[in-house]
């Protein structure tokens, strides 16, 4: 199985694209995840793997939303509402900021490890 982050942007207007993907793929949604770091919050939607090809996408808006526990904001409320509308709990995790990694690829491998360790992603 291939599990891959698909970065839509850094959480500004691309959050609306993430919400649209979640609405249109409602039957495939596995998890709504908020990844909080010192740099900001990343909102992600994990879909169930495709039947053909076993590809599991994780759509993400990386660190562009202020941490809602430091500063309340409308974009995070919209993400919470999308999770509630889909009937899915919002999983919130504290993670390292992407700036601590030399490459985005390493950061996404780190996040996949955390999600697998907590059983939010299937093992390979």
Note the pLDDT tens digit of each residue in 17-74: 999 999 999 999 999 999 999 999 999 999 999 988 889 999 999 998 999 999 999 9
In a domain, 123, yes or no: no
Which structural domain, as residue segments, surrounds residue 76?
Answer: 2-117
In a domain, 122, yes or no: no
For residues 5 and 55, give the distance between their C-alpha atoms in angstroms, rounded to a whole number. Answer: 11
Q: Residue 48's pLDDT is what? A: 96
Q: Residue 107's pLDDT is what? A: 98
In a domain, 51, yes or no: yes
In a domain, 41, yes or no: yes
Q: Is residue 36 helix, strand or coil?
A: strand
For residues 73 and 81, give the distance between their C-alpha atoms in angstroms, rounded to a whole number. Answer: 13
Domain count across the chain: 1
Q: By C-alpha distance, which of 84, 102, 104 is closest to 42?
A: 104
In a domain, 8, yes or no: yes
Q: What is the model's pTM? A: 0.94
How do residues 72-91 score in pLDDT, each as one tens digit? Answer: 999 999 999 999 999 999 99
For residues 121 and 113, give the distance between their C-alpha atoms in angstroms, rounded to a whole number. Answer: 9
3, 25 in Cβ contact below 8 A? no
């Amino acid at each position: 199985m291939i599990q891959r982050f698909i970065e839509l942007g850094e959480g500004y207007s691309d959050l609306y694209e993430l919400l649209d993907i979640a609405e249109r793929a409602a039957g495939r949604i596995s998890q709504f995840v908020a990844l909080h770091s010192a740099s900001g919050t990343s909102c992600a939607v994990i879909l169930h793997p495709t039947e053909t090809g076993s590809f599991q996408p994780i759509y993400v808006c990386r660190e562009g939303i202020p941490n809602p526990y430091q500063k309340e904001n409308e974009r995070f409320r919209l993400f919470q509402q999308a999770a509630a509308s889909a009937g899915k709990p919002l999983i919130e995790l504290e993670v390292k900021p992407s700036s601590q990694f030399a490459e985005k690829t390493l950061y996404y491998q780190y996040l996949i490890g955390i999600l697998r360790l907590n059983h939010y992603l299937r093992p390979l």
